């Protein structure tokens, strides 16, 4: 079962890496991807919140905030993707968040060990370390490939990005536990819904991006 789940996760991740490559090189694919993934993630979130919050007014404000956040996230990508240097940073962080998820899964299954939190029983401390390692390697290699420059401050950015990505993962895991569901949907094989795949990205990329601007 573990090997099957790992195979599905790796296959889906490679598809996402390929999609990232396409949207990096073709702006029209970026626009379509943001619209499709944004709309699906909003629908999945609305469905998730409906199972948790029974106060319609409070649910409306929560859903409105998430819609605005997704809109801001998409706008950030569209706006900064027109500036090559910022585009490279954004997409490197995006790759890092995908790698963080893979690293956490692989290290967690290989080394197991103490649980990270009760929110998500499958998360382990070894997985958290693996996430940081995979993120650091991916972002550092990507930025060096494009800029031919490496600064040790990048490692701090990688740690911040990975931790933020893992917090995003745990936040949505908490919501799913409250809703008593395993996945937010079944759009992506091996990952469930769109939100199951971009939960870490929604936290990791913006926080990592602004941390890089402040620190680097």
Q: What is the DSSP string of 2-13?
A: HHHHHHHHHHHH
Question: What percent of the chain lies above the pLDDT cut of 90?
Answer: 34
CA-CA distance, 184 to 182, in Å (whole number)?
7
- pLDDT tens digits for range 29-48: 888 888 898 999 999 999 99
Burial class (CB in 10 A: 0-12, 13-18, 19+), 7: exposed
Q: What is the pLDDT of residue 4?
A: 56
Of the pLDDT bands very low, low, confident and very high (cuts 50, 70, 90), residue 192 is confident
State mean pLDDT over 45-68.
93
Task: Write b or e for each residue in 192-209: b if 16 or more Cβ atoms lie within 10 A of its Cβ, otherwise e.
Answer: bbbbbbbbbbbbbbbbbb
Give backbone dihedrals phi and psi of 118, rounded to 5 degrees, phi first.
-75, -15
What per-residue confidence (pLDDT) applies to 154?
87
CA angle 139, 141, 142 (to 5 degrees): 65
**Is residue 70 scored above 90 in pLDDT?**
yes
pLDDT confidence of residue 47: 93
* Tens digits of residue pLDDT in 108-122: 888 888 888 888 878
| Spatial separation of the C-alpha atoms in residues 9 and 4, rounded to whole Å | 9
What does pLDDT average to over the chain? 85
Whether 148 has a pLDDT exceeding 60, the answer reads yes
Across residues 147-152, what is the average pLDDT?
Answer: 82
pLDDT of 101 above 90: no
SS3 119: coil
Compute the average pLDDT of residues 37-66. 93
Q: How confident is the model at residue 1, as a pLDDT?
A: 46
């Amino acid at each position: 079962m573990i090997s099957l789940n790992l195979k599905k996760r790796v296959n889906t991740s490679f598809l996402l890496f390929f999609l990232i490559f396409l949207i990096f090189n073709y702006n029209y694919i970026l626009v379509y991807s943001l619209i499709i993934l944004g709309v699906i993630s909003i629908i999945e979130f609305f469905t998730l919140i409906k199972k948790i919050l029974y106060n319609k007014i409070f649910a409306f404000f929560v859903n409105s905030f998430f819609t605005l956040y997704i809109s801001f996230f998409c706008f950030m990508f569209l706006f900064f993707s027109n500036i090559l240097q910022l585009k490279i940073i954004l997409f490197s962080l995006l790759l890092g968040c995908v790698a963080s998820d893979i690293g956490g899964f692989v290290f967690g299954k290989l080394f197991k060990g103490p649980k990270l939190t009760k929110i998500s029983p499958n998360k382990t401390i070894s997985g958290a370390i693996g996430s940081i390692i995979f993120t650091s390697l991916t972002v550092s290699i990507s930025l060096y490939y494009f800029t031919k420059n490496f600064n040790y401050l990048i490692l701090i950015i990688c740690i911040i990005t990975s931790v933020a990505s893992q917090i995003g993962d745990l936040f949505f895991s908490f919501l799913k536990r409250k809703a008593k569901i395993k996945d937010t949907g079944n759009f992506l094989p091996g990952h469930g819904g769109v939100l199951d795949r971009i939960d870490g990205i929604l936290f990791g990329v913006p926080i990592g991006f602004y941390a890089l601007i402040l620190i680097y």
